[in-house]
Amino acid sequence: MTYENLDAKLVNLLLGDGRASLRSLAEELDVSVTTVSNHLSTLEDDGVIEGYTPRVDYDAVGYDVTAIIQLQVEGNALPDVTETLRDHRQMTSVYEVTGDYDVIAIGKFEDTDGMNDQIKQLLTDPDIKASNTSVVLNAVSENEQFDLEVDENE
């Protein structure tokens, strides 16, 4: 087998099952276990694969409220505000963005009271000029990953 696209195919298999064994990956790719192991190590060393984590259904463990928080921040305070948000354990994503707001954070909360407490705490920061919070009514698609493109002609 040619090793063209092997890394992309390996990543795609792991996206489908992050707990797949080296042997099953090797069988699926029609290469040796050693080849899979070597390519996997390279992908990890290069930072393509950053780790293996479970996908948690936060609703199932009691975090029923998802909020999208948009913040306008004083220009020079952006790193401090994003670091503060990053340190909040319930913030699952924090983005610096363009547009009317500077930061978008997505948080998971047990209830609206917990969400309100976190938001009120954030708004005491004098570097936050304005905020807008939206509560998610229904998560249609969340934390989805996509397969990498593979050139089938190679």
pLDDT in tens, 39-95: 999 999 999 999 988 888 999 999 999 999 999 999 899 999 999 999 999 999 999
- Do 75 and 113 share a domain, yes or no? yes
Q: Give the domain range for residue 72.
A: 59-136
pLDDT for residue 2 is more than 80? no
Is residue 88 a part of any domain in this protein?
yes
- In percent, the amount of the chain with pLDDT more than 90 equals 75
Q: Would you give the DSSP letter of residue 48?
A: S
Alpha helices by DSSP H, 88-141: 112-123
Is residue 53 a part of any domain in this protein?
no
Cβ neighbours around 36 below 10 Å, total: 23
Is residue 142 a part of any domain in this protein?
no
Instruction: Classify the C-alpha dihedral 103-107-111-114 as positive or negative.
Output: negative
Cβ neighbours around 11 below 10 Å, total: 19
Is residue 149 a part of any domain in this protein?
no
- Do 64 and 130 share a domain, yes or no? yes
Is residue 38 a part of any domain in this protein?
yes
CATH of residue 98: 3.30.70.920
pLDDT value for 28: 95
- In percent, the amount of the chain with pLDDT more than 70 equals 97
**Strand, helix or coil at 135?**
strand
- Do 29 and 80 share a domain, yes or no? no
Kindly provide the b/e burial profile for residues 101-125, where b requires at least 16 CB atoms within 10 angstroms of the residue's own CB.
bbbbbbbbbeeeebbeebeeebeee
Is residue 124 a part of any domain in this protein?
yes
pLDDT for residue 1 is more than 70? no
Is residue 75 a part of any domain in this protein?
yes
How many domains are contained in the chain? Answer: 2
Q: pLDDT-derived band of residue 96, with 50, 70 and 90 as boundaries?
A: very high
Q: Are 130 and 95 in contact (CB under 8 A)?
A: no
- Do 91 and 33 share a domain, yes or no? no
- Do 40 and 65 share a domain, yes or no? no
- How many Å is the maximal CA-CA distance in the chain? 60
